[in-house]
Structure 1
Amino acid sequence: MKVELLHIAGCPNTGIAEANARAALDALGLGAVPVELVTIGTEAEAANTGFGGSPTILVDGIDLFPTTLVHSLACRVYVAENGFAGAPAATQIDEALRDRMQGGESDR
């Protein structure tokens, strides 16, 4: 499994997303799987990587939280339990990873 966290430079939510992804992977017994940070610096990179805004978590090249957003250098907002957040919670990542590992895609 390859986990990439795509982000723009200076994104205040990168650290939160990385910590939450790490916690979710660890909870699933996937502690050996690294979370690779990938800085997206141009519109071309955004378009070519499936970047849905900063931060975007890709698992094996597929957005863990699919979006229809235009791929450009922008912030991303996630639906959270109490409104919106700049990064998904560890529990959301855990659920999405479990779903991906089982071969499905639940409504997120």
Structure 2
Amino acid sequence: MDITLLYFEDCPNWKLADERLTALAAERPDIHLSRHLVDTPEEAVRTGFNGSPSIQVDGVDVFAEPGSAVGLSCRRYPTPDGYEGAPTLEQLRTVLADA
């Protein structure tokens, strides 16, 4: 399974997502984790970047909502404890189990 973390430098939330994805990759040898820096609006459009951090599994943004805007912005994720800058470990495990 290929997981790509898309991010841009000015958003601090990507580091939390990276920590969580790195932990999951250590648990699951079938995960290949890569990171992709998105640094221009054109790159955001080309990659379907819905904000930082975005998580793609086999090329699909697994947390995208219909009509999500594409662009260089920080992204927020609904979690059981309210909105956070990255999905929880449990949310990631659930999405990856379904992938």
Amino-acid identity (%): 35
Q: 2:31 aligns with which of 25, 30, 33?
A: 33
SS at match of 1:23: helix
Aligned length: 98
8 Å Cα contact 1:3-1:33 kept in structure 2: yes
Query: Residue 103 of structure 1 aligns with which residue?
Result: none
Matched residue SS, 2:15: helix
1:46-98 CA-partner distances (Å, limit 9, x unpaired): 11112110000001110021223211000100001111000011110000011
* Structure 1 equivalent of residue 83 of structure 2: 84
> TM-score scaled to structure 2, two decimals?
0.89
Counterparts of 1:16 and 1:24, CA distance in 2: 13
Structure 2 unmatched runs, 5+: none
Tell me if the contact between 2:3 and 2:33 (Cα under 8 Å) persists in the aligned partners.
yes
TM-score by length of 1: 0.82
Structure 2 CA distance for partners of 1:31 and 1:11, relative to 1, 3 Å: farther
Structure 1's consecutive aligned runs of 4 or more residues displaced over 4 angstroms after TM superposition are: none
